[in-house]
Structure 1
Amino acid sequence: MEITKLQNEVDEWIKTIGVRYFNELTNMAMLTEEVGEVARIIARRYGEQSEKESDKTKDLGEELADVLFVTLCLANQTGTDLQKAFEEKMRVKTARDKNRHRENEKLK
């Protein structure tokens, strides 16, 4: 699915179910909170922290989807075309990193 389609789907949901967008500052705080929830799962499930019983039922996919949803909200309300931005980012990264990672001894 194209990112543009996702942005449109989120916008339609906000307009029909969500009433309105939270302001950008609130959404930034919410994004930070959601990223923190992802970090908690990663640190405890894949890192060195022990996982609490209450954390074992947390769904990483659900938390990543929360991050994506709020990111799409922020893009919509700031007039950012994420499809275009992502395509440009991939072009820049490909040009910049074409040989960089292959030549990195740490990755061999």
Structure 2
Amino acid sequence: MNIKELQQYVSRFCDEKGFEGIPLETRVMYLISEIGELTDDLLEIKGATTEKQEVIKRNIGHEMFDVTWNIFDLANKLDIDLEAAFKEKMNINENREWKT
């Protein structure tokens, strides 16, 4: 699945589940909540056993999906083509220098 397909999936899912009317501010709060859940899992993985780490990694993947899903929904609500935005930003970063 590419960026455009994922953005279309999020749009269809929102239409099917009745999420299309959620305001931007609410979607951002959901995004922050999902980042918090991702953070909780990342903090838990350090001291976990190898077996438990595998379970936590799976949860981390799910939380990463949730974070990404919320970003894609925000892009849809703002009529932003994320694939175009990613390409543009990649070009900007190509010649950018960071201070370390």
Pair in the same fold by TM > 0.5 = yes
> Match for residue 80 of structure 2?
80
* Mapped partners of 1:90, 1:44: distance in 2: 32
* Mapped partners of 2:37, 2:95: distance in 1: 33
| RMSD of Structure 2 on Structure 1 (CA) | 2.1
Specify every segment of 5 or more residues in structure 2 that has no aligned partner in the other structure, as ranges: none
Report the residue type matching 1:19 in the other structure.
Answer: G
Structure-1-length-normalised TM-score: 0.74
Aligned residues: 93
Q: Residue by residue, what CA displacement relative to the aligned partner does 1:33-82 show, whole Å, maximum 9, x if unpaired?
A: 00111111112213xxx56xxx9754100000000111111000011111
* Mapped partners of 1:39, 1:93: distance in 2: 26
> Match for residue 95 of structure 2?
95
Report the residue type matching 2:35 in the other structure.
Answer: V
> Match for residue 62 of structure 1?
62
Tell me which protein shows more helix as a share of its residues. Answer: 2
> Match for residue 11 of structure 1?
11
Classify the secondary structure of the residue corresponding to 1:80: coil
